[in-house]
Amino acid sequence: MGVTIICVRCFRSKGKPAGILMGHLEGITFLDSRGDGRYFISNGKDQTIKLWDIRKMSSNATRSPGFRNYEWDYRWMDYPLRARDVKHPSDQSVSTYKGHSVLRTLIHCYFSPEYSTGQKYIYTESHDSCVYIYDLVSGAQVARLVHHKSTVRDCS
């Protein structure tokens, strides 16, 4: 299993993590901070965005037993269908958002602007040429913008 652990480091701690957050099953492609010192989001190759609360960090990492029974490479393969509903047994994220595709390139994700939406949405690009918008609180997909002809890599 390719467990990904987010290590939050403090420059004054001599390289030791200030805390650890677990939840993604594959590598992380992008992080965006809400700017409030508490929340950030991450986009992962496990085809999910996760919302994190830095206050939920743990001091140690326990890698889960290897339950991954598939091999894949996001650079040229589709994500295995049987892996789409797998959840990390020690997931510390606040919410998980699904529907977009993180394939063949590094896909970004962002909080919507504070000045116009109050940051109540998360938006992300996708391999399927669309931009996805999720409600931050409910996790529901509120829009799928279909206006492009190829992979959308960034929409900042």
What are the residue ranges spanned by the domains of the chain? 5-145
Proportion of the chain above pLDDT 70, given as a percent: 69
Local structure of 23: helix, strand or coil: coil
Lowest mean pLDDT among 64-78, 102-116, 137-151: 64-78
Please state the CATH superfamily assignment of the domain spanning residues 5-145 in this structure.
YVTN repeat-like/Quinoprotein amine dehydrogenase (2.130.10.10)
| Averaged pLDDT score across all residues of the chain | 79
Q: Nearest CA to 22 among 11, 69, 2, 14?
A: 2
Residue 150 CA: distances (Å) to CA of 38, 49, 54, 93:
34, 21, 35, 31
- The predicted model gives 68-89 an average pLDDT of 67
- The predicted model gives 27-42 an average pLDDT of 92
- The predicted model gives 7-36 an average pLDDT of 77
DSSP 121: E
Tokens of 75: 């650079």
Q: Distance (Å, rounded) from C-alpha 36 to C-alpha 49?
A: 19
Proportion of the chain above pLDDT 90, given as a percent: 34
Does residue 99 surpass a pLDDT of 70? Answer: yes
Instruction: Look up tokens 């957050």; give the residue.
Output: 21
- The predicted model gives 29-55 an average pLDDT of 92
Considering 70-79, 89-98, 103-112, the range whose residues carry the highest mean pLDDT is 89-98
The one-letter amino acid at 12: R
C-beta of residue 113 within 8 angstroms of C-beta of residue 124: no
